[in-house]
A and B are shown apart, each in its own frame.
Chain A
């Protein structure tokens, strides 16, 4: 069955899946080695809300806590994210790139193409889930942690079906609209809403059953790690998958395929409306193209709005009131938490609002959000224009190459500041809403530090982009480096003999000074800013020396 489309999709996507699942396995190794040293008594007292959000089952032990925390939350999110990317891209991306015509110029029906893409998604998800399943046995074997009695296979199956559910939903929306952004955005939105609904609704009296309206419930609601496979829930997800596949097939067959066009945005509609034409023309037209950095900014507006919104609302505002749902016994309990465990998720004493925010927002999510934006902008800055063959035209203008690099870097800085500010506003509002009384200045300082941390890796992506002109190299290179440094900064301090080396990781200069409690550490901030500046200067030098690529 269309072995070539099938294998091509696998070839296009395997690297991302491999990197993601590989990092998860590493994190698992790391988390389990932490949890091994814990006093297990604390789990019984663990508050329901805390567990629910992280997806940890009630009867937790070392293995299940590590597996639960990692796979039920991050692991499931990552798998779903990968499949949303694959599903939304399946038809819509080929339309966007203008390759769909060529593809369908072969004697293959649209349904065939769609089914091949779907099959490749099933295989990739299956391999990823199987790899994670296998890695738990490998890791627990290496660390000698008891995991018998835990249904890792059941959890893996739930993860697999769950990821397909969202992947095929994205595919169906993409097949109907031909718009990749709509498909990915709507599906990711549903995922976020349902994760939080399933985590929080059970705490509101009388609303417990409403969770069943959200698909995430059928992934983790039955606690498959403890209770094994829940065939009823799997059945619900499969019914959804079947419906999505049917919808996708109908959708892609009934409509006109889009040319290599760009779609009509809200701004375009406002631009053609005589009432709003003048104002919007300035905004969308003449202002947008007035400078290189402003134009670069406008290219990333969707990413910026989504990331900023998530950080503001989900990771900022909503986390504050949740703190109050934590029962009082948590306060005593956290004294028993070894520092190492907390370090794995960014550290922080969860009995305090600051520690809570550090665990939930600043430890992992804020750096990730910042890096998503800075790396996207940095990697595309130069490599993007080269790969889309517009760099020659841009540089035919009387501007220096260094100006292009610097303006693009400036756009990256503005993007980072925007997301950093959204985080700040969200956390400040969350603290206010929850009556947590956190220090505004300290929040601002922490957000500034995470912004600078994001910029370091964005600038690294820019430098790779400047050196090679290849977007993929820049993205994977900087994400890989960021992951290694993250692990180093979290792992090294656990052993006294190598703790000093943690200072070589940029992460050290983000949270090691406890900025949420002590405020901005200007020395650390200066180091991060200096690294960023150094990498931008390096980018200028590298880009000036090299031949532009000729792509296509």
Chain B
């Protein structure tokens, strides 16, 4: 099982008329892996996911899940996947419980005590009508729906949008747990921090093309940060400008602000050897900045 990819795509391409929503996507995702699928809005993440679910058919290329072709074996595949669509919509007239019962009936065989446990973990109210729930609470019903039949493969499109931070963390723990049990998670997102927290590997997609696949630890080292340091006394800009990986330095009295890509540890050690550091504020650079810095050339050639 382990030498066979769980999700595999080969030259997957989708054109809508002249629009190339997805171009030559090649993925090879293994069992027990959490694969983050990262890209800005409109990059083609949802197109890729909808192709895997056989909602739409590729113009060129093919995809398989658990060794089965996503089109020919679509029904068999769906026995083994839990799906969380992006921009989730459900039946507003049904309660959460009714909704889950409906899907359980269509699937056959759902362990209701497990559903109750999931509902408790996510703090979901299943007695209310879905139409009366806030979007975050609706999202919880969608998540339970994806988890409830203990699928081997999870395919989730922006699953944590609308969830509050506590529930997001709970959700991240849940996918970590299922991954540790050998299940596979395909997680699309447009925020780097979310993917970094849970994923093992990250595929970065932009303008329909996969521009890079990275191990998360490597991506982390590439992450550009906006750093603000406060000191007890005045500092010199030149010291910072000379440091490798530091750019766009501006000094203002006891404070310095700059962009940095490199290991935090190295930077802090060097700074603290020299000055009396009072406070640190760091902010993650947005995805677009990372793209521009690292993947600009590759995007053209891949």
Contact = CB atoms under 8 A, between A and B. Distances in A.
Nearest to A391: B55
Nearest to A286: B101
Interface string B127-142: 0010110000000001
B101 to A, nearest CB: 5
A94 to B, nearest CB: 15
B244 to A, nearest CB: 45
> Interface size class for chain A?
20 to 34
A552 interface: yes
A235 interface: no
A396 interface: yes
Contact of B53 (A288, A396, A400): A396
A111 interface: no
Contacts of A400: 74-75
A396 B129 contact: no
A260 B76 CA distance: 36
A465 to B, nearest CB: 16
B81 interface: yes
B46 interface: yes
Most chain A beta-carbon neighbours within 10 Å: one of B76, B97, B102: B102
> Interface size class for chain B?
35 or more
A394 B56 CA distance: 14
Interface string A334-366: 000000000000000000000000000000000
Interface in B85-111: 85, 87-95, 97-99, 101-103, 105-107
B78 A261 contact: no
Given A260-B131, A397-B106, A548-B55, A285 B101 contact: yes
Nearest to B134: A259
A299 B131 CA distance: 14
B87 A552 contact: yes
B75 A398 contact: yes
A395 B56 CA distance: 12
A547 B55 CA distance: 6
A389 B89 contact: yes
Contacts of B75: 398-400
B132 A261 contact: yes
A393 B103 CA distance: 9
A396 B83 contact: yes
B106 A292 contact: yes
Nearest to A386: B55
B79 interface: yes
Lowest 7 A-B CB distances belong to which pairs? A289-B102, A389-B89, A396-B83, A262-B131, A547-B56, A397-B106, A398-B78
Given A393-B142, A400-B75, 10 more contacts: A285-B98, A289-B99, A289-B101, A295-B91, A393-B89, A395-B54, A400-B74, A547-B56, A548-B55, A550-B46
Interface of A: 259-262, 268, 285-286, 288-292, 295, 299, 388-400, 547-548, 550, 552
